[in-house]
């Protein structure tokens, strides 16, 4: 369903990139999220001191909370891959949340954005596997006995593909559904905005839960590829 | 938030994703088999074989979840 009014797309029309902006609104809004996160990060890390100021305090609380949660899952040896998961979490959370601002479109409501996130997680999963087990990582795909290889190998292949698909489709489905419902409610109720606002309140919950689930599942996948083959 | 509640939320998030994973594994198996059938002209055998592979892969995910529960029970943590 076409979104009725998108402010950044209108802005790109003004500077002459209207065609591109209409075809790919999620790319435009991904740029916006990127700029937002980079600027906020730069402001927060500009004057890092032992006694944190306000901005640094907020970011330290957010990031150490996410880090502790992840280390609880993987154990101490998994602390080094927190940056990728933390980035994924805050990126997806921001992408979900800007959909709540009127005239903004959440980039995660487009399948391209979510698939790109899931593919990155997929590649990092196997990178971690090779880092921990070396070439022996292929034992994860072959099973315990050599004549089981023709059965186990396709099964593992399918289950790894299902991970990517389910990671991306879950996030995409939730955000797209929420966006569509909001659009329909706005079209039906118009200026009587009570149901729309109630739905937006639920949208905050959905945005947090989906970012959280994406991160939790990625952590579990990383942990599985760190462990020894069963 | 209390530590116990945090564990429940984590479990809820994890197990609510299991169903989707099982379904997707079966779908991927089916369509992979269908694609290979149209490639090699062996319809319908590869579709059936890969459908079975997909079903096994889906249930393997449940197996991983069961292992997780057992480990959590043993350690007394979530």
For A133-145, write each residue's pLDDT tens digit. 888 888 888 877 8
Most A CBs within 10 A among B21, B51, B55, B77, hence the mutation to make, goes to B21
Convert chain A into a string of H (helix), E (strand) and C (coil).
Answer: CCCCCCHHHHHHHHCCCHHHHHHCHHHHHHHHHHHHHHHHHHHHCCCCCCCCCHHHHHHHHHHHHHHHHHHHHHCHHHHHHHHHHHHHHHHHHHHHHHHHCCCCCCHHHCHHHHHHHHHHHHHHHHHHHHHHHHHHHHHHHHCCCHHHHHHHHHHHHHHHHHHHHHHHHHHHHHHHHHHHHHHHHHHHHCCCCHHHHHHHHHHHHHHHHHHHHHHHHHHHHHHHHHCCCC
What is the four-CA torsion angle of B44, B45, B48, B52, rounded to 10 degrees? -160
Contact residues for A108 (Cβ-Cβ < 8 A; gap 6+): A92, A95, A96, A99, A114, A171, A172, A175, A210
Nearest to A93 by CA among A111, A67, A66: A66
Name the band, by pLDDT with cuts 50, 70 and 90, for residue A18: confident
Average pLDDT over residues A107-130: 92
Res A124 pLDDT > 80:
yes
Query: Residue A47 — φ and ψ, nearest 5°?
Result: -120, 70
Choose the weakest-confidence range: A33-42, A92-101, A189-198, B54-63: A189-198
- Say how far apart CA A125 and CA A224 lie, in whole Å: 9
Asked if A156 and A114 touch (Cβ cutoff 8 Å), the reply is no
Q: Is the dihedral of CA A167, B67, A124, B7 positive or negative?
A: positive
Asked if A140 and A129 touch (Cβ cutoff 8 Å), the reply is yes
Tell me whether residue A19 is exposed, middle or buried, using C-beta atoms within 10 angstroms of its C-beta: 0 to 12, 13 to 18, 19 or more.
exposed
Average pLDDT over residues A137-166: 86
pLDDT for position B65: 85
Higher-scoring residue by pLDDT: A33, B77 = A33
Q: How many domains does chain B have?
A: 1
pTM of the model: 0.86
Size of interface A-B (CB pairs under 8 A): 52
A162–B25 C-beta distance less than 8 A: yes
What does the block give as tokens for B54?
A: 């997909």
pLDDT for position A49: 75
Chain B residue set in contact with A, beta carbons under 8 Å:
10, 13-14, 16-17, 20-21, 24-25, 28-29, 32, 50, 53-54, 56-58, 60-61, 64
Res A34 pLDDT > 80:
yes
Closest alpha carbon within chain A to B67: A230
Indicate the residue of B32, B50, B61 with minimum beta-carbon distance to A159: B61
Q: Which positions in chain B touch A61 (Cβ < 8 Å)?
A: none
Res A128 pLDDT > 80:
yes
How many CB atoms neighbour CB B26 within 10 A?
A: 21
Of A16-25, A60-69, A85-94, A128-137, which has the strongest mean pLDDT?
A85-94
B24–A169 C-beta distance less than 8 A: yes
Domain range for B47 is 3-75
10-residue averages of pLDDT along chain B (78 residues) = 70 84 91 92 88 91 85 70
Q: Which positions in chain A touch B29 (Cβ < 8 Å)?
A: 158
Residues A71-116 pLDDT 10s: 888 888 888 888 999 999 999 999 999 988 888 888 998 899 999 9
């Amino acid at each position: 369903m076409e979104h009725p009014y998108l402010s950044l797309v209108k802005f790109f029309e003004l500077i002459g990139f209207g065609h591109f902006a209409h075809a790919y609104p999620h790319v435009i809004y991904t740029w916006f999220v990127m700029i937002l996160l980079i600027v906020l990060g730069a402001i927060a890390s500009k004057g890092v001191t032992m006694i944190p100021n306000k901005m640094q305090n907020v970011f330290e609380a957010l990031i150490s909370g996410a880090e502790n949660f992840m280390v609880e899952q993987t154990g101490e040896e998994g602390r080094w891959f927190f940056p990728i998961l933390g980035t994924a979490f805050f990126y997806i959370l921001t992408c979900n949340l800007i959909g709540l601002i009127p005239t903004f479109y959440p980039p995660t409501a487009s399948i391209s954005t979510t698939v790109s996130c899931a593919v990155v997680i997929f590649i990092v999963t196997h990178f971690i596997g090779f880092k921990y087990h070396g070439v022996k990582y292929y034992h994860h795909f072959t099973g315990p006995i050599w004549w089981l290889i023709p059965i186990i190998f396709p099964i593992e292949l399918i289950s790894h593909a299902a991970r990517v698909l389910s990671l991306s489709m879950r996030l995409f489905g939730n955000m797209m559904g929420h966006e569509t419902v909001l659009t329909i409610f706005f079209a039906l109720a118009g200026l009587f905005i009570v149901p729309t606002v109630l739905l937006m309140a639920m949208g905050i919950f959905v945005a947090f839960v989906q970012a959280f689930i994406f991160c939790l599942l990625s952590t579990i996948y990383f942990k599985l590829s760190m462990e020894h083959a069963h | 938030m209390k530590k116990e509640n945090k564990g429940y939320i984590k479990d809820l998030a994890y197990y609510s994703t299991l169903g989707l994973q099982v379904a997707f594994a079966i779908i991927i198996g089916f369509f992979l088999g269908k694609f290979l059938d149209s490639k090699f002209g062996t319809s319908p055998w590869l579709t059936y074989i890969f459908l079975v592979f997909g079903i096994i892969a889906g249930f393997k995910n449940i197996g991983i979840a069961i292992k997780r529960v057992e480990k959590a029970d043993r350690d007394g943590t979530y």
